[in-house]
């Protein structure tokens, strides 16, 4: 896709990137860059990004948001996915992966006693944004993807996390950061966390229609007007369930055209490339063996 070429050129030329142009490197955009480059067969710069993530790993196995910011450490899951995707055989990052998984499996989101003012199952535990706090949608979804990419989709932690992700879907579809009802008010869904949650739920059974309602929400909300991060995560979430919209490429092209007055941020470049890959996106292919066992 020619309209993606500039994004690939930027990423290959500087595979270690941040959230905005010329900003210091951060783990999330660098991990997504590794995945975008690997999915586009640009393996050497992808490995450069993966090696930087390995250098970022702490002795205990976690990967923080930035080199100079030791916490929070939720990007550990994205690093695992990147190391699994970009590696040769045998995987030179296997020790890094194992340390990261050991750290992640020892981390639990805090449970809460059932409360009439909160509308979700508060005793399910998955992963938090910040250690010592409640479990939330996006860090949990990333950890599920990391476990699935590591053939650990049947691990008890992954199974409980999937139950949590389904439980946190809103009654009319979609999800937000992770609450459903607060003080009697049903909260509004947002596109980005819904797309990320649906990615992690690839291959899962939809026993009560919650996943289907989130498909319908995304299909209704996505358009050429959707901002780049939300559009890309939403499209990837739908593609993970073979529901990528026929207008997806046109929407991505329009999103790129809207930004011609400025340089795209590395994380935007990476997300655009990943969303453009459709069913070949590494985040989808990593999630497809949903309950493969070690």
C-alpha pair distances (Å), 158 with each of 37, 111, 124, 150, 239: 27, 16, 12, 11, 21
Q: Is the pLDDT of residue 182 over 90?
A: no
The full 3-state SS of 238-256, as one line of letters, equals HHCCCCCCCCHHHHHHHHH
Q: For residue range 254-276, list pLDDT tens digits in order.
A: 999 998 888 899 999 999 999 99
Q: Is the pLDDT of residue 292 over 70?
A: no
Between 276 and 1, the more confident residue is 276
Band of residue 288 on the pLDDT scale cut at 50, 70, 90:
low
User: Mean pLDDT over residues 13-28, rounded?
Assistant: 94
Q: Which residue has the tokens 């459709």?
A: 278
Question: DSSP character for 21?
Answer: T
Band of residue 250 on the pLDDT scale cut at 50, 70, 90:
very high
Question: pTM here?
Answer: 0.96
Band of residue 293 on the pLDDT scale cut at 50, 70, 90:
very low
| Of 140, 133, 138, 134, residue with least CA distance to 104 | 140
Q: Is the pLDDT of residue 106 over 90?
A: yes
User: Mean pLDDT over residues 57-64, rounded?
Assistant: 98
Q: What local confidence, expressed as pLDDT, does residue 165 receive?
A: 98
C-alpha pair distances (Å), 140 with each of 145, 246, 252: 9, 29, 27
Set out the domains of the chain in order of their start, with CATH numbers: 2-14+27-284 (1.50.10.20)
Q: What angle do CA 95, 155, 210 make, to 5 degrees?
A: 125
């Amino acid at each position: 896709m020619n309209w993606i070429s500039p994004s690939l050129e930027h990423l290959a030329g500087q595979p270690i990137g941040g959230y905005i142009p010329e900003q210091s490197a951060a783990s999330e955009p660098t991990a997504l860059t590794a995945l975008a480059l690997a999915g586009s067969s640009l393996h050497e710069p992808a490995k450069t990004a993966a090696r930087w993530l390995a250098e970022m790993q702490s002795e205990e196995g976690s990967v923080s948001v930035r080199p100079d910011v030791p916490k929070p450490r939720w990007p550990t899951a994205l690093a695992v996915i990147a190391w699994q995707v970009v590696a040769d055989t045998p995987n030179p990052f296997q020790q890094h992966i194992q340390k990261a998984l050991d750290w992640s499996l020892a981390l639990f989101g805090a449970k809460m006693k059932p409360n009439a003012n909160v509308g979700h199952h508060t005793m399910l535990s998955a992963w938090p944004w910040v250690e010592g706090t409640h479990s939330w949608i996006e860090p949990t979804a990333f950890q599920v993807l990391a476990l699935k990419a590591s053939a650990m989709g049947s691990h008890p932690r992954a199974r409980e996390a999937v139950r949590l992700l389904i439980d946190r879907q809103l009654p009319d579809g979609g999800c937000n950061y992770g609450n459903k009802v607060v003080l009697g008010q049903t909260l509004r869904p947002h596109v980005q966390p819904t797309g990320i949650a649906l990615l992690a739920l690839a291959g899962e059974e939809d026993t009560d229609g919650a996943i289907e309602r989130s498909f319908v929400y995304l299909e209704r909300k996505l358009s050429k007007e959707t901002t780049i991060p939300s559009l890309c995560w939403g499209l990837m979430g739908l593609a993970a369930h073979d529901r990528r919209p026929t207008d997806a490429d046109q929407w991505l092209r329009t999103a790129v055209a809207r930004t011609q007055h400025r340089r795209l941020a590395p994380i935007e470049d990476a997300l655009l490339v990943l969303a453009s890959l459709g069913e070949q996106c590494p985040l989808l292919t990593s999630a497809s063996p949903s309950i493969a066992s070690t």
